[in-house]
Amino acid sequence: MPFQDWSILSENEIIAVFSFTFILSLALVFFTIPLTINFCYKYQILDHPNSIRKNHKQSIPHLGGFNIFLGLFIPFTCIAPTFSLGTFKYIFLSMFFLLVIGLWDDIRALNPWLKLLWQLFVALIIVFFSETYITNLFGLFGLDDLSTGTSYVFSVFLILTIINGINLLDGINALSASLSTMLGCFFFFWFVVIDQHGLALFACALCGTSIAFLWYNWSPAQIFMGDSGAMILGFSISYLTLSFLQTDHDLINSESKFAIFHAPNIVIAALILPFVDTTRVFLLRILKGKSPLIADRNHIHHKFIDAGFSDVQTTFILLSCQFALILIAIGTVRLPYLTSLILLSACLLILYIGLGFVIKPEKKSSVSSPE
């Protein structure tokens, strides 16, 4: 049963709560995925390699989002303090909505604009009902405190960008789940350090869920997370990102030694892969006179696959670059804001140019991987 308040727990008991949450999330996803795989094969709910943008050669079950939802929802609601459940009810309600629309899209392809409208509905729930939104940009673009309307717009835009960014990255085995694991670990340790145990518990469940899913999604994949799973992971990361910015602003106001003065730089670095890939692909589609929501094969991971890299190699390279940028952003938080941003941008440009030389188009694809 959930306990009443974190304050009644000793340090060792808090560690035990986190450990149990991680293990329960991991075990729940690990042992239920085989059931989902069998269900998908029985009822032929499979992702078929029927498009040029899909790399896998065999039909694969793609309802992993159901297991991801279970791994986040059940451990948290069973373990979190009872007073936290009211705050998080909007989070899990939003995740349930994304699960429903995502499973619908996985089974019967939906109009992408309808899916975007549903995501907007979910984003508004978080901003207006859970009151999780950006109130300050910490000097980014010369902006500090935001008006209420601007705050809502920025927050909704960020939620939609991250949800779709993680979804669009789910084009090769393990990439989205690996990125979610890495970001989940970052947020977990951050929220533990600043004693935000409820948020740390949610991030802990995200880590356990993502790691367990990776076991079945690693090449050769036995299951895909589908749009349902990718949107839930993206939503979870967006919620933790907004919470990170909110809590850090409070730390700055209270002059805490844990305050990070360039928090947006860390967010940019932590999410640079989905940010850059989504922006680049959308612009290319628009310049070609196509809808930005129509799927194609222009994602950065597709370029790596077409250049002859395997799923594992591509995931390792992209996540290594992502991790390096996070370390650079963290290492420059005490520098002047403009200096920090210029250094981060310069490193990103160097990495982008370097990767451009690595993925030369004349190489031939020699591996298979999922969309």
pLDDT digits (tens, 9 = 90+) for 24-37: 999 999 999 999 99
> Secondary structure of the chain: what % helix, strand, coil (to 5)?
70, 0, 30
Amino acid at 51: S
- Does residue 9 have a pLDDT over 80? yes
Note the pTM of the prediction, 2 decimals. 0.90
Q: Which of 129, 130, 128 is nearest to 152 (CA)?
A: 128
Please give the pLDDT value at position 216.
Answer: 96
Mean pLDDT within 87-94: 91
State yes or no: cis peptide before 361, omega within 30 of 0: no
- Does residue 363 have a pLDDT over 90? no
Which of these ranges, 122-136, 141-155, 223-237, has the smallest mean pLDDT? Answer: 141-155
- Does residue 235 have a pLDDT over 70? yes
pLDDT digits (tens, 9 = 90+) for 179-208: 999 999 999 999 999 999 999 999 999 999
Residue spans of the domains in the chain: they are 11-358
Of 8-12, 219-223, 229-233, 265-269, where does the model show the most confidence? 229-233
Please give the pLDDT value at position 365.
Answer: 41
Please give the pLDDT value at position 53.
Answer: 61
Average model confidence (pLDDT) across the chain: 87
**CA-based radius of gyration for the chain:** 20
Q: How far apart are CA 106 and CA 109, in angstroms?
A: 6
Please give the pLDDT value at position 119.
Answer: 95
